[in-house]
Amino acid sequence: MKPLRILASSPTSFHPPLPEFAANLFEIEGRALYEQDPEGFRKACLEEHSAQIDFLKNRRLADIVYIPQQHDTPDSVFTRDGSISVVIRQGKNTKPISIIAKFTNPARHRESDMHREALTALNDNRVIHQSPYALEGGDIQLDRTRKIFWGGYHPNPTAQAAHEGRTSLDAHSFISEKTGIPFASLQTWSPRYHLDTFLGVAPKGELVVCFAGMSKANRDAIMVEGFEKPNMDPKDFLIEVSAEEADRFATNFLGVNGNIIMPQGNPRLAGIFSERGYDVDQFPMRYISAGGGSSHCSFNDIDTEIVLDDELTFVNGMA
C-alpha cells in the first residue's frame, strides 16, 4: 500500500507558554518541566518526535512533508491543528481538499500561512480553502467507516476560552459545505479542549471515547451517530477509556492502515488494540505532551481518502 503523505514540523523551538498565558493544566505543568532544564527539554522533545517519524518512514507507512520550523511558532509541532485535508473519491474522480485553520490565539496565526504554503507547494491540484470561522484541526476527525467528520466545538471560542474549546460550530458547516461530508458535532469544555482529547477514531471504525464528564447530549450524539445510524454494535466498535487514561492522551493516537501509533502510559488500551488485530507501537511523549498534545496532534495526514456515493456531484463545481 502506498505510504500516506503526512505533515510534520520539528519541535526544536517548542516550549510551553508562561503560566499566565497557558490555555490548560497540561501547559502549566509542562512549563514547570521545561524550566527545570530548557536545553534538556528541547532535546527530549526532538528525540520523542524523531522516534515516531523514523518509525513511520522505516515501516513505509508515511512520507513526511516537512513544514519548516520557525523560532516564533513554538506550537507548530502540533501540525494537526493547522489544517484539515481529505481526498474525495466519487466514481473514477478524486479531488484533494484542504481547509486552513483559523486560530483564536494570535501567536499561532503564522502557522496557518505555513500550512497553506506547504500544501500549495505539493502541486497536486489541491483545492485549498481558508476557514472564516474559528477552527483548529485537533477538533476534527475524519471517520472513513461512517463517512462523516466528528467535530468538536465551543459556543464562544476565544483566546480567553481556549481551555474550554477552540473551534466554532460554524466551522463544521463550512467544512461540510466544501467537502460534502456531514458532521457529528460534540461540544468541548475544560479539560477536553480538543475533540482528540476525548474521542479517537481507529482505522477499522472503533471509537475510543472518554465519557467521563461528558454531557448527555454528547453521549446521545455519539451513540446515535456512531452506532445506531450506521448499525454498528457498540460491543464491537466502542472502546471506553477513563478520565485518567484520557489525561494520558489515550484518545490521541495516530491510526495508519492497520497500525496504531500511540503514547506510552495506556497499556490497557494498547492491549485492546492488539487483541483486535492492530500492530501497536507505543512511544514516550512526556515532553511533547507538556504542550497539551500527543501522537495524533503531532502528525497531519493529507492523503486520507473517503469514497462518497457515485451519484453525488462534487461540491463547488468540481467534476
| Count of the separate structural domains present in the chain | 1
The CATH number that applies at residue 205 is 3.75.10.10
- Whether residue 317 lies inside any domain: the answer is no
- Whether residue 63 lies inside any domain: the answer is yes
Which pLDDT does position 312 carry in this prediction? 41
User: Model-level pTM?
Assistant: 0.93
- Whether residue 314 lies inside any domain: the answer is no
224-283 pLDDT per residue, tens: 999 999 999 999 999 999 999 999 999 999 999 899 999 999 999 999 999 999 999 999
38-89 pLDDT per residue, tens: 999 999 999 999 999 999 999 999 999 999 877 789 999 999 999 999 999 9
- Whether residue 107 lies inside any domain: the answer is yes
- Whether residue 209 lies inside any domain: the answer is yes
**Per-residue pLDDT at 190 exceeds 90:** yes
Report the amino acid identity of residue 103: F
- Whether residue 219 lies inside any domain: the answer is yes
Residue 286 banded pLDDT, cuts 50, 70, 90: very high
Backbone phi, then psi, for 46, in 5-degree steps?
Answer: -65, -40
- Whether residue 202 lies inside any domain: the answer is yes
11-36 pLDDT per residue, tens: 988 999 999 888 888 999 999 999 99
- Whether residue 237 lies inside any domain: the answer is yes
**Per-residue pLDDT at 311 exceeds 60:** no
Domain hosting 128: range is 4-309
Contact 27, 16 (CB under 8 A): yes
